[in-house]
Structure 1
Amino acid sequence: MGAEKLPSPLPKKDGQAPLILGLQPSALVDHVARVDWSLLDQIPGERGGSQSVAFEELEHILSEVKTHILPSPDDPSPLRTIAGGSVANTIRGLTAEFGVTCGIIGACGEDEQGRLFVHNMTFNGVNLSKLRTKKGPTAQCVCLVDAVGNRTMRPCLSNAAKLQADELTRDDFKGSKWLILRYGIYNLEIIHAAIRIAKEEGVSVSLDLASFEMVRNFRSPLLELLESGDIDLCFANEDEATELLRGEQNTDPEAAIEFLAEHCRWAVVTLGHNGCIVKHGKEIVRVPAIGEAQPTDATGAGDLFASGFLYGLIKGLSLEDSCRVGSCSGGSVIRSLGGEVTPENRQWMYKQMQIKGLPVPNLCKSST
């Protein structure tokens, strides 16, 4: 099918497989900008969510962004273009912030966006030996951030280079401990294939519910996925949790956490500035958010929460401390544009972890 594996940009230590794998069938590049509300009013779809657009619409939005950018004295780059996608954000956070060995399974195009994705992820220490190059464009997404930090996403995935289900092999998963997935109806075939192989290899599975539109429009196959019992850890934000229980008498976060915990070993519902609620077995914890209440950009907040929470799990921290690390990590990324933590905000995160008595990663060593 014209696919070929990129050479590994990272030396494999003793042939060791990445501890955590992220499946992102299509590599993705984010264009992140702070814009005034008038632009958001002109774009089809609900504000605050994620809705796919055609390439022509993506180009139109990008051209309009230039005339609607909000100036920011704290950020000399009003438009940032970086490797993106929920899974990539989480994986990058685990490597760059926590020193956990991670890799990406997926495909990118042989274009400028594909090269940018590879460079950004490699620079942050992600193993790309399982990333294939294919003909076709690399997927892109416009992330529009309003004056109060809320983000609206418009991804363009049409005709993008994409890994197919029949291209997955057991060798892709062998030796790893966790597989990170993002729910998506167009990726359902490869998601099921990846879960099947992961379970055969003894790999635990983490699923993010993606967006409230995805849950609302494709709730039935999502319920089947959850009820299969193959999802070990599930992350949902408050809007996604509400959509998951739509039609039920009670749709609050407590009801959602109980529902998810019936099917998953760990259930997590993030609540924005109200923190999170998590259940594992019979244990339920609530942890407040960490950092200023007013974010610069909420892009990646849930993804980086997942990075910190997974770090806590693999380090054997208590459920509450794993949530605290997640809150520190999620709180660090909302302090600047995009789903990547800046060096300054990384140091802010480590300081918050020290204040709360949490183990700060020693990035001089491989942390697994």
Structure 2
Amino acid sequence: MSANPHDALPIRLNVDDSDSPSDVVDALFLGRFATGEQPFSHSLNIDRVRSGATLLPPDATVLRGARDDDRSATLAEGDGWTLLISRWNRGADVTVTATSAQLAEKILKQATDGAQDEPEPQPDNVTMGFWYVSPRRGPYRTTRQISAGTWEEVRPNYTAPVADAMDRLMKTTPEDIAGRLLLLHGPPGTGKTSALRTLARSWRDWCQVDCVLDPERLFSDVGYLMDIAIGEDDGTAKGRWRLLLLEDCDELIRGEAKHTAGQALSRLLNLTDGLLGQGRNVLVGVTTNEDLERLHPAVVRPGRCLARIEVGPLTRPEAVNWLGQDAPDLESSVSRDGATLAELYALRRGTTPASVPEPRGGADAGLYL
């Protein structure tokens, strides 16, 4: 066994009050790898660590342990190897350096075997991925179980023309795919995001749905874009499709996007039907509050869109029917122009009237559903 990791570290560390004990543990871990004493590294990310799992292999000696507000770090060693465990919430990163690739793989397997906690499958849930750029790990994907109703349950939330268009979309199979872009546009609060959750459930047998939490960064960072384009299989069979969801992308796809967003629009289009998308079973779903007339013509050209659906408010008869016979006193609060889904939910809760004096879809309006 060689000297302690801090003796092998080939650089001088300058630590100030902006560094945490976990940062020091991270730096100490790199010592033997940096000097070449342990030149091989293997790592694994675990989204949900089983309760009680230590992530330590047999005969491990713990050298350092640190816990911050949202993260803990553990440094351990054994004969010919060093291990770093970074834990946050239910997730963890486990990295091993060793004198050989075979030893690194063996120790990592011993540390993580049986550590993944598989949630009890729920019939109303669907697994959805979430991509974002982490300051610590760079482009990163995590998964969550998202509740989603069946299309039959949520269909009354949409006006008749929208529901008819959604009928066809929900029944789409890989054999039906002609375009790679799915565009939902319309005023805030009309249920665009709710429809996408239901779509994820309807397609879960053949398509993995991933939501990009920072789409404004995605198309300005080529490395981030490539990581997402390549994707993660998440244990799925070869040939499984992926749907990347980009919410509230008004600036990216409106008519003047070529001038305001630089290469971002071009990269989006390249992902859907250009060289970047070739050989990848990737669909891109975009929600926007913009009117169709304000969208860039390259986005809505024929053949590019798998579906292009304007999601509007329910008509007054549809809104009254949505409220049901058990709420006749609420009918008078529905304007003659109808109501959005967000307004109806607020009306049912008694938090705000359904009629809004300002025009829907203003520039400062937010996406409620």
Task: Pick the TM interval, shorter chain.
Answer: under 0.3
Structure with the bigger RCO (C-alpha within 8 Å, sep 6+) is 1
The two structures have a TM-score, normalised by structure 1, of 0.27
The two structures have a TM-score, normalised by structure 2, of 0.27
Q: Give the structure with the larger helix fraction.
A: 1
Larger-Rg structure: 2
